[in-house]
Amino acid sequence: MARSLATIYQQLLAQKNAQPNLSTLNSTSQVSIWNLWLWIYAAGQSIFEQLCDLFKTNVETIVSNAPVFSPQWYQNMLLYFQYSATNPQVVAALPDYSIGYTVKNTSLNIITRASVITTTSRAVNIKVATGYPLGPLDGQSVPYNTPGPQYNALLQYLSAIGVPGTQFNVISLNPDYITCNADIYIDASYNGVILGNLQAAYDNFLDAIPFDGTFLVSDLIAALLGVEGVNDVVINYLYAQAATDGYTGKNYLVNTLTPNESTLILRYWQTIAGYAIDNPSSTFSSNINIKTN
């Protein structure tokens, strides 16, 4: 950081006074030769340091705003994506050396969650969701991506900001469904409120799964045990279903393979759509058995 002219002058003066051959130069006149030389040097040094600061700021601005095409950069750019059905949003190179929109409008940022994985074959695998609660682009209700205006606009956006020749594989799907049946042992004092509290804990657990991440069966049990009044949790069956197969396939994590004995089959679930919700046709609260003994 540039020093002030006065600071530089005082430091030069201290150095001058520390030299035996120069300490005798002690005229109080502001136009003495030695005093003028100190001020001239201090002024030049101050200007030089200010120019260095300006140069450093410009370089840091270029570096921080320039495209780096890393997964994190792509993820941030996905969250900045703007879409309007009536007003085309065109990206351009901006004066601050970044790539973006000339007019930034956060109300048009439709992507709320995104994940990016790069590959060695110049392909970038992307998952996105929009809104809250999360949903697919264009409000799809079909198993696979059906190109719609939002989806197509996103592909055009990626083509504009990405490295030429990069293949962008974008999916935006309906959520995975999670179905769980469990015996919940509780303190009888909480019988009137426990069902709602358990459903809330279950929904919050699913909502907290990192986008395009996994959840552990043990973490789900821990979340349910954290509900006040719950003494024990025994999962009878737990399975996930993905929109990619039309929700017809049941991927069991826990299942009762023999009478009265549940078996852990998979200890975690890697989300397909990137996010998961309670199965709307078979909710958690409708599947649990509340027991007080």
> 223 phi and psi, to 5 degrees?
-65, -40
The pLDDT-based confidence of 141 (bands split at 50, 70, 90) is low
Do 266 and 286 have their domain in common? Answer: yes
Do 275 and 195 have their domain in common? Answer: yes
Tell me the chain's radius of gyration from C-alpha atoms: 32
Residue range 17-41, pLDDT digits in tens? 888 888 888 887 877 888 888 889 9
Do 128 and 93 have their domain in common? Answer: yes
Residue range 216-239, pLDDT digits in tens? 999 999 999 999 999 999 999 999
Residue range 172-210, pLDDT digits in tens? 999 999 999 999 999 999 999 999 999 999 999 999 999
Tokens 């994590």 belong to 253
User: Among residues 147, 171, 195, which one ends one of the domains?
Assistant: 171
Contact call for residues 129 and 123 (beta carbons, < 8 A): no
Do 186 and 209 have their domain in common? Answer: yes
Do 103 and 191 have their domain in common? Answer: no
User: Among residues 130, 153, 171, which one ends one of the domains?
Assistant: 171
Domain span holding position 39: 5-65
Do 79 and 163 have their domain in common? Answer: yes
pLDDT for 62: 65
